[in-house]
Structure 1
Amino acid sequence: MSVQSVDRALEILSLFSTTSPRLGITDISKAMGLPKPTVHGLVRTLTSHGFLAQDPESKKYSLGLKIHEMGTILAGSLRINQVGGSPAQMLTRSTGLATRLGIWDQQAVLVTLLLFPDTVNVLYHHIGPRIQAYCSSLGKAILAYLPRQEVEDYLGKHPLTPITMTTITNRKDLLKDLESTRARGYALDREECISGMSCIGAPIFNYAGAPVGSISISGPPDQVLGDRTAALARELLLTAQQISSFMGWRPGEAAKAALVTAPRSRVK
């Protein structure tokens, strides 16, 4: 049995997004179909507890620092971050590229860790952004290993909207791309999500062999695609396999024989 006031408060928090970072009482009232006095009371309570903050000039509200604080706590407690932080740091040092870790959540990838070459010694645990799966290497690395019915369900709910000039927007082409991902073990993002950035992503499996997350390296296309791709992918797969093993993944004998076991060396 749900509590109406709690449901409404959570719904208010869910209205805020990257496209709607600030909302006024009128905006919230219209979105929820509630009277302004009711909304005002809920918003006042959320603000008093730090979950919302009001801009003194516009009088509009945004998410409060309490949300950020809780997100930081959550990110630091996630198993994938706890076991994947050090391997991700090694990957960034080795490749000289940015590294992201993410988990599969609500049919999208939620980034939980981000590392840049110039700040590689700082583990930046955080929650977000939430990345579309069909146009990112993080997402395609997971989609490629999901059961076919889950992929069909995903495609039924998520239109392949073009984000850049190279975004895959055809269902048949995406399924073919996922087949290629399974065949080579890693996904490619050819500026499909952000113009000027390409990525290589690999899945992270749990104890049951399910793809629960992914890891990617990213940078300008000339640094990621082309002659370096094979060497970069090798480094990425080594890291993904290591993190998966920490997550409890134990591949079968046939899979073990196919794993990359050569020592790590810095990618040139």
Structure 2
Amino acid sequence: MSIQSVDRALQILTLFSHRTPALGVTEISQAVGLSKGTVHGLIRTLLRQGFLQQDQPSRRYRLGLKIYELGIIFAGTMEINQKAAGPLNQLAKTTQMVCRVSIWDGDSVVITSDAHPRPRAVLPHQFGPRVHAYCSAMGKAVLAFLDEKLLAQYLERTELVAFTPHTVTEREVLVADLAETRRRGYAMDREEAVHGMGCLGAPVFQRDGCVAGAISLSGAVARIMGDRLEDHAEALLKTAAEISRYMGHLPGFSETASAPRAH
């Protein structure tokens, strides 16, 4: 397979999402700007290698098990997931909240791991593993530790779209929120991304002082922001500091100028 073919095959794979889990040849052809014949050839290769599968009744294509397999390998071998596993499980038990790990990627955060207080604890949400930074506690926990230049660049290229009536869409308000986040050490999301849901997020630092990612605890907004808010925040900060130590971070080591590393 040539470099061009690899590039085209990857374009096809990135078309699939939570909103478009299944696609037909015509849809794929139109989306990537290639002929149906070319698309058929690429799909055959992706089917053979397990990266796509075909739904027989509809004849449409979905992501294959090989994608899932590689994702499991990736998540299981990430340092932050490995270091966070024990502390995150303990945080979930202590707070009785769903807890997550995320990393910074581009201008958003990607959820890479989670922990539940009970085996069947399921938190309803309306987003996938990639979450907008400006309206999530995990994202704001990272944004708060960007230097002014990097934050200004992020704000310049990011449209602050409202997902709920509580989403912050004014840049000045967001900047003030991030300053407060930096002061107290953790970020808050009061129904900014999902109706009825609240979230607290704290940054995790790696050995060079850069932000490795963030952890969060999520639940019904009344539970998160209720009379146990300070207890939840204290437990979150303690856990984030513990994971940061496991990542080799020395407290106080140049967090003020740190920027997230690409993953």
Same fold flag (TM > 0.5): yes
Gaps of 5+ in 1: 121-127, 256-268
Query: Are positions 1:44 and 2:35 aligned together?
Result: no
Counterpart amino acid of residue 103 in structure 1 = I
Q: Which stretch of the first structure deviates more once superposed, 243-252 or 229-238? A: 243-252
How far did residue 23 of structure 1 move?
Answer: 1.1
Aligned position for 1:251: 251
* 2:250 alignment partner AA: R
Q: Identify if the C-alpha distance between structure 1 residues 76 and 156 changes in structure 2 by more than 3 Å, giving closer, same or farther.
A: same
Q: Which residue of 2 aligns with 1:201?
A: 201
Identical counterparts, % of pairs:
49
Q: Distance in 2 between matches of 1:254 and 1:36?
A: 53
Structure 2 residue matching 1:163: 3-state secondary structure: coil
Residues 156 and 21 of structure 1, relative CA distance in 2, 3 Å threshold: farther
Q: Alpha-carbon deviations, 1:1-21, whole Å to 9, x = none?
A: x81111111111111112221
Q: Distance in 2 between matches of 1:215 and 1:78?
A: 14
Conserved 8 A contact 1:141-1:202: yes
Q: 2:125 corresponds to which residue?
A: none
| Residue 165 of structure 1, CA deviation | 1.2
Question: Once the 2 structures are TM-superposed, how far is the Cα of residue 227 of structure 1 from its aligned partner?
Answer: 1.6
SS, match of residue 14 in structure 2: helix
Partners of 1:146 and 1:210 within 8 A in 2: no
For residues 35 and 12 of structure 1, the distance between their equivalents in structure 2, rounded to whole angstroms, comes to 13
Q: Is 1:190 aligned to 2:205, yes or no?
A: no
TM-aligned CA distance change 1:247 to 1:226, over 3 Å: same
Alpha-carbon RMSD across the aligned residues, in angstroms, is 1.8
Quick one: distance in 2 between partners of 1:186 and 1:227? 17
1:162 is the counterpart of 2:146: no
After TM superposition, the structure 1 = structure 2 runs for residues 12-51 of structure 1, keeping only pairs within 5 Å, are: 12-51=12-51
The 5 A counterparts of 1:41-80 are 41-80=41-80
The answer to whether the 8 A contact 2:21-2:62 is kept is yes
1:179 to partner: Cα distance: 0.5
Moved more, 10-19 or 194-203: 10-19
C-alpha spacing 1:246/1:63, structure 2 compared with 1 (3 Å): same
Q: Report 1:1-268 matches (<5 A).
A: 3-119=3-119, 129-252=129-252
Cα distance between partner residues in 2 of 1:184 and 1:220: 22
State the distance in 1 between where 2:102 and 2:252 align: 25
CA distance in 2, matches of 1:25, 1:76: 33
TM-score by length of 1: 0.89
Bigger drift between 19-28 and 147-156 goes to 147-156
Give the partner amino acid of 1:18: H
C-alpha separation in 2, matches of 1:211 and 1:254: 11
- Classify the secondary structure of the residue corresponding to 1:216: strand
Q: Deviations over 1:174-228 (max 9, x none)?
A: 1111011001100000011111110000000111111120000010111110321
Bigger drift between 159-168 and 16-25 goes to 16-25
Task: Specify the SS of the correspondent of 1:182.
Answer: helix
Residue type of the partner of 2:205? F
Q: Is the 8 A contact 2:96 2:117 kept in 1?
A: yes
Q: State the number of aligned residues.
A: 248
Give the CA deviation at 1:153: 2.0
Q: Match for 2:229: what amino acid?
A: T
How big is the shift at 1:61? 0.8
Gaps of 5+ in 2: 121-127, 256-263
Contact 1:99 1:115 in 2 (8 A): yes
CA distance in 2 between partners of 1:224 and 1:185 (Å): 17
